[in-house]
Structure 1
Amino acid sequence: MTQLIAPHGGRLVDLIAPAGEHAALKREAGQYPAWDLTARQLCDLELLMTGAFSPLEGFMGRADYERVCQDMRLADGTLWPMPVTLDVSREFAEKLGGAASIALRDPEGVILAILDISEQWEPDRTAEAIAVFGTTDRLHAGVAYLAEKAHPIYVGGRIRGLEMPSHYDFRHLRLTPREVRAHFDKLGWRRIVAFQTRNPMHRAHLELTFRAAQIAEANLLIHPSVGMTKPGDIDHYTRVRCYEKLITHYPEQTTQLSLLHLAMRMGGPREALWHAIIRKNHGCTHFIVGRDHAGPGNGADGKPFYGPYDAQELVARHQEELGIAMVPFQEMVYIQERAQYVPADEVHAGETVLTISGTELRRRLHEGLDIPDWFTYPEVIDELRRTHPPRHRQGFTVFFTGLSGAGKSTLANALLVRLLELGTRPVTLLDGDIVRKHLSSELGFSREHRDLNVQRIGFVASEITKNGGIAICAPIAPYAQARKTVREMVAHYGMFVETHVSTPIDVCEQRDRKGLYALARAGKIKEFTGVSDPYEAPESPELRIDTSDIGPDEAVQRIVLKLESLGLIRPRQ
């Protein structure tokens, strides 16, 4: 491991082993226990190895982790606001025994690095959520990740890098900190202001960044995060095509686009400070911090997790120590009378302010409505419409859940026929029994196997949805967390319409033609939902139907009306 001094920014840590050592290190790595990196860990490893996370030399040990959580500093006092940890399963940690190192692999099994273990421990993830994010509310994406996806054991240690993670998309834009700095040197840029974004950019963003560059008397680096962002964000493929269209509207030779494979935590003020450090490592001298920087939205109380300018205040307090200057900006708004964008605090009394929120933009896209030229450029809208067509042309999933005998299969089959009659999209039925036969024949009925079965259904449904089809799913799906996982899988690509068939258990038993309930009550069938195993009813499904008092035709009509109200299908003329 070496440290290089670049003409821009501070020192960059280099964690890639010299090429001449790779063959020996790969043989060595083959002797160690191997951990398959998660999507977030892949992002973190890449930015560790490129030096974007300088001065970190690996995944944090306990002393660094605890001090970062407590007061945003590494154990040696260096300012660093965000934990960067390697979480592993308890089973993997137990198998390590006395192993001194582990091999870190990508999803295809390629060994990317060796981690030399310094320590492993079980953190208090609730305490981490409170310290880092200021809340335990799982509507915060960072908190939800800690609570629902992170593994229970942390392993710290230095990294010896062998190979960078592979990317096949936009390679010409995936520049390391060294490559970005070299580009600045080649162009003779000495003052560079960076702009962080995870969303498409529109005219307001262009005006904001252009003004920021003028204020700083600097060139501009547009540096979007294309690793993990907030669930529900527009995919990075679409966003990058939008950035490429927008960048042509800046003055020539003033602006550079580069992609950052960052796994965002949506940590508000701490995240803004982290982003500033990362941009300093890329050689930037200035960093734009806007309103509600890296904000995760609203909590369960309906209020934002952070104040609109909390991030600016935190970065301002530390910018001298950071060595990168903050360029603060308020929201940019369009003034109809002036036909131009201005910061929100420069609006005069009586002027007409025009804005389109992210929610309103999505509504207009979903409904195929006009989006005015003052808001964005036509070529940007064309890109957004290509991958986000009106809702009645998008794929979606209808997910029935309920007790055995509740009527799920009957409704699913009836809905299948109704949607095939409409003929607007391909329709696929994933009934519980059919899936058990063709996808999950080897699974039993333990909680683990039930969850795996539901996840398989979710994966297939998400692929159908992604490709513009309709998936109708009808498993029992008794556990809330498994259903939430499926919702998240599908929601990346289209709407998830959870339909709780809430028929009472006594009615279900009366309908039981197979005699399953009787066998379960006699103890001859173990882990039977509703008898010897719980059913966790959905708290807020899109639709709830009790088939004990309505027939299939009426029930399906209710579903169709719901789909129409959501804009997923159009009434037949």
Structure 2
Amino acid sequence: MDLITPYGGTLCDRYVDESTARELKEQAQEMPSWDLTERQICDVELLLNGGFSPLTGFMRQADYDGVLDNMRLADGQLWPMPITLDVSEAFAEQAAPGTRIALRDAEGVLIAVMDVEDRWTPDKAREAQQVFATTDVAHPAVNYLMNRAGAVYLGGTLHGVESPVHYDFRNYRYSPAELREYFRKLGWNRVVAFQTRNPMHRAHVELTRMAARQTEANLLIHPVVGMTRPGDVDHYVRVRCYEHVLRQAPEQTTQLSLLPLAMRMGGPREALWHAIIRRNYGCTHFIVGRDHAGPGPGSDGEDFYGPYDAQELIQKYADEIGIEMVPFQAMSFVEDRAEYVPADEVREDEEVLNLSGTEFRRRLREGVDIPEWFSYPEVVAELRRSFPPRHQQGFTVFFTGLSGSGKSTIANALRVKLMELGGRAVTLLDGDIVRKELSSELGFSREHRDINVQRIGFVASEITKNGGCAICAPIAPYTDMRRRVRERIEDAGGFLEIHVATPLETCEKRDRKGLYAKARAGLIKEFTGIDDPYEEPEHPELRIDTREMSPDEAAHRILLKLEGMGFIRNP
């Protein structure tokens, strides 16, 4: 049903009543069933609760094309980001237009039923260029689109049966309707929202306070707790940090609410999207800072978007989006004034204290003092508790290279040296051992190779998360799967990629198992380096050629690299 309130206009709530929900649960047993991915769960939740109003389901092709071409739905309404249900080709065959499908979470719980109204195969390169202004897979959303998303899109209306379950921080989880009602009860007629995917430090706090004063509004801290950029601080740590910040705010002026959004890091379009979402949550103002939702540099080292592109795009559509932008530059701490001021208000004769994000992380990593003018002691303590110094963190050393390159020999030498040093449990996940113990049922197709490496990455991430050292030595021939393993493990600790770059001809000469000879004779199909490609890493932490050094020398070089990165200390 559509709810109309004085806070944010019409809200499209897609949940059905209890009686209809019971009927749909019974009918869903006969429907094709799709298990939603992590990103799709986030999208479905905001489609069902009205956070993505005016959308009533996943986009049909006409809406999708309109969004790509001019940021408008087929009916002309402004909407900058495609919201699509991507599925496999095999599942798409079961979901012809006119059918219904069941959408379930990872536990198999029915979340919604979808009327399939459209089905098409998108041009993903076109989508990447139109929406994100690039096809560079260094952009996280482009990488997701090109390497993770399903090949076919389905569009259609959703009927919500059950809300996705959240067991964490339930007192901060408000639907758009609940947050609008909260504002109404408190008489908050003007609310300025602050978007964040990082812990808040003093500069962020001062920025939000200034925005609240400038707009004469109450403040909503509205962090994203769905999917953000790989490597970001997880939302559990961030919310505990926000709680510390909240205690610094005057009573009855500030509210914390969690947004289950899957970010695309889409820069200007994403900023406009964020503004519309905050309008749906009942806010009247929205803070947009420098490089809002930018993913950082691309493969060429240049940022994907200009620092104020997001502000300019929102300003262009200011009369249409129903929420007012509050533009802000970076905040600087002026030592003589002992306060934060906007960077463009700092006088030439004033001394500015600055602590970059890189320097902050270094100090956190190495246990160095962090000044109180930069962050609250409680926030720093929370971050130190969750992110101990590197020499106390777990890490993974991930070898990749052709069969016979020397990966296993170097990995075993490294294992022995790390065990000699002590201080961490060390586990060797050699390719042959993993094939025997974890992946004995798999063949050597690309799909099966990826599954094998994915399993290695999962085990290594668990070892790393718990403070141990995982040494992995698969062939791992494909760039995208190595990237996925890195992203997964870097969320838990350290990651060191070692390319054992021994040339193919040398590997063939070694060929102790006779595998290359069999591949040349056609007895083994899809053999890496012969009739299946090996995609060399572009930026490994180390590149080693075993023609030039012994296993002992290679292992020692890796130890020096680990020491330089701070993961090990000499006794």
> Are the counterparts in 2 of residues 203 and 375 from structure 1 also a CA contact under 8 Å?
yes
Q: Which position in structure 2 is the counterpart of 1:400?
A: 399
Match of 2:61 in 1: 62
2:157 match: secondary structure? strand
Of 189-198 and 477-486, the range deviating more from structure 2: 477-486
Q: Quote the Cα distance in structure 2 between the aligned partners of 1:263 and 1:17.
A: 24
TM-score normalised by L of structure 1: 0.97
Matched, 1:359 2:354: no
CA deviations on 1:162-209 (whole Å, 9 max, x unpaired) are: 001111110111110111111112212111111111111010011010
**Contact map agreement 2:266 2:294 (CA 8 A) in 1:** yes
Question: C-alpha distance in 2, partners of 1:504/1:224?
Answer: 48
Query: Are 1:382 and 2:381 matched, yes or no?
Result: yes
SS of 2:498's equivalent in the other structure is: strand
- 1:63-102 paired onto structure 2 within 5 Å: 63-97=62-96, 100-102=99-101
| Deviation of the 1:286 alpha carbon | 1.0
Moved more, 489-498 or 528-537: 528-537
Shift of 1:425: 1.4
1:349 partnered with 2:328: no
Preserved CA contact (<8 Å) 1:333 1:341: yes
Matching of residues 517-532 of structure 1 within 5 Å: 517-532=516-531
Tell me the equivalent position of 1:370: 369
Q: Give the Cα separation in 2 of the matches to 1:194 and 1:98.
A: 39
**In structure 2, what is the Cα distance between the partners aligned to 1:73 and 1:519?**
57
Q: Where does 1:72-151 land on structure 2 (aligned, <5 Å)?
A: 72-97=71-96, 100-151=99-150
The answer for the alignment partner of 2:249 in structure 1 is: 250
SS state of the match for residue 126, structure 1? helix
Matches of 1:283 and 1:536, distance apart in 2: 49
Work out the CA distance in 1 between the residues paired with 2:62 and 2:266: 21
Question: Matched residue of 1:196: which SS?
Answer: strand
1:464-514 Cα shifts (integer Å, max 9, x gaps): 112221100011222222222222221222222111222233433443333
* Inter-partner Cα distance in structure 2 for 1:501 and 1:281: 52
Q: Distance in 2 between matches of 1:98 and 1:266?
A: 31
Are the structure 2 counterparts of residues 419 and 285 from structure 1 closer, same or farther at C-alpha, using a change threshold of 3 Å? Answer: same
Distance 1:469 1:21, change over 3 A: same
1:204 and 2:203 correspond: yes
1:427 counterpart residue number: 426
1:52 is aligned to: 51
Percent of aligned positions that are identical? 66
Residues 172, 330 of structure 1: alpha-carbon distance in 2 compared, 3 angstrom cutoff: same
Q: Which moved more, 1:244-253 or 1:362-371?
A: 362-371
Q: State the Cα distance separating 1:400 from its structure 2 match.
A: 1.1
Separation of aligned partners in 1, 2:34 and 2:508: 47
Match of 1:38 in 2: 37
Contact 1:32 1:99 in 2 (8 A): no
Matches for 1:465-484 after TM superposition, within 5 Å: 465-484=464-483
Equivalent in the alignment of 2:294: 295
Q: Is the 8 A contact 1:43 1:262 kept in 2?
A: yes
After superposition, what is the alpha-carbon deviation per residue over 1:285-344, rounded to whole angstroms, capped at 9, x for unaligned? 111111111111122232222221121122122222222111111111101111110000
Per-residue CA shift, 1:102-153, capped at 9, x if unaligned? 1101111111101101111111111111111111122222222211111121
Q: Give the match's secondary structure for 2:117.
A: strand
TM-score in terms of structure 2 length: 0.97
CA distance in 2, matches of 1:251, 1:41: 37
Q: Matched residues in 2 for 1:325 and 1:551: separation?
A: 64
Post-superposition offset of 1:522: 3.4
Name the structure 1 match of 2:556: 557
Cα 1:447–1:142 change in 2 (3 A) is closer
1:447 corresponds in structure 2 to 446
Q: Deviations along 1:533-564, whole A, 9 cap, x unmatched?
A: 33332222211222233222211111101111
**AA aligned opposite 2:372:** D
Which AA in structure 1 matches 2:297?
N
- Distance in 1, matches of 2:519 and 2:53, equals 59
SS at structure 1 position matched to 2:538: coil
Alpha-carbon distance between aligned partners in 2 of 1:373 and 1:319, rounded to the nearest angstrom? 38
Match of 1:417 in 2: 416
Change (3 A) 1:531 1:310: closer
Counterpart AA for 2:412? N
- 1:97 deviates by 4.6
- Cα drift, residue 457 of structure 1: 0.5
What SS is found at the alignment partner of 2:93?
helix
Q: How does 1:184-199 map to 2 (within 5 A)?
A: 184-199=183-198
**Long gaps (5+) in structure 1:** none
Provide closer, same or farther for how the CA distance between residues 526 and 123 of structure 1 changes in structure 2, counting only shifts above 3 A: closer
- The whole-number CA distance in structure 1 between the counterparts of 2:141 and 2:133 is 11
C-alpha distance 420-150 of structure 1, shift in aligned 2 (>3 A): same
| Paired letter, 2:469 | I
Separation in 1, partners of 2:485, 2:400: 12
Q: Does 1:183 align with 2:195?
A: no
Conserved 8 A contact 2:118-2:155:
yes
Question: What amino acid does structure 2 have at the position aligned with 1:122?
Answer: T
The question of whether the paired residues in 1 share the 8 Å contact of 2:46 and 2:260 is answered with yes
Matched to 2:154, the amino acid is V
**Secondary structure of 2:86's partner?**
strand
SS of 2:294's equivalent? Answer: coil
Which amino acid in structure 1 is aligned with residue 10 of structure 2? R
Answer whether contact 2:96 2:116 (CA < 8 A) is retained.
no
Aligned length: 571
Deviation of the 1:525 alpha carbon: 3.0
Query: In the superposition, relative to structure 1, how do residues 425 and 78 fare at CA in structure 2: closer, same or farther (>3 Å)?
Result: same
Q: Which residue of 1 aligns with 2:223?
A: 224
RMSD across aligned positions (CA): 1.5
Contact 2:97 2:118 in 1 (8 A): no
Spell out, residue by residue over 1:401-430, the C-alpha distance to the aligned partner (whole angstroms, 9 max, x if none): 222222211111111111112212111110
Amino acid at match of 1:364: R
Deviation at 1:75, TM superposition (A): 1.2
Q: What is the aligned partner in structure 2 of residue 322 from structure 1?
A: 321
Question: Quick one: distance in 1 between partners of 2:434 and 2:98?
Answer: 41
In structure 2, do the counterparts of structure 1 residues 532 and 295 end up closer, same or farther at CA, with 3 Å as the change threshold?
closer
> 1:571, CA displacement in angstroms?
2.2
| Whole-angstrom CA distance in 2 between matches of 1:532 and 1:305 | 36
Matched letter for residue 208 of structure 1: L
Is the 1:411–1:552 Cα contact (8 Å) retained in structure 2? yes
Q: Does 1:539 align with 2:556?
A: no
Local SS of the residue matching 1:400: strand
Counterpart code for 1:187: L
Greater shift after overlay, 347-356 or 484-493? 484-493
> Within 2, Cα distance between the matches of 1:426 and 1:502?
28
Please give the secondary structure, in 2, of the residue aligned with 1:11.
strand
* Equivalent-residue separation in structure 2 for 1:318 and 1:472 (angstroms): 52
Task: Please identify, of 523-532 and 401-410, the stretch whose mean Cα deviation from structure 2 is larger.
Answer: 523-532
Gap change, CA 1:435 and 1:99, over 3 Å in 2: farther
Match of 2:16 in 1: 17
> What letter matches 1:189 in structure 2?
W
Within 2, Cα distance between the matches of 1:242 and 1:282? 23
Distance in 2 between residues matched to 1:87 and 1:518, nearest whole Å: 42
Distance in 1, Cα, partners of 2:409 & 2:364: 34
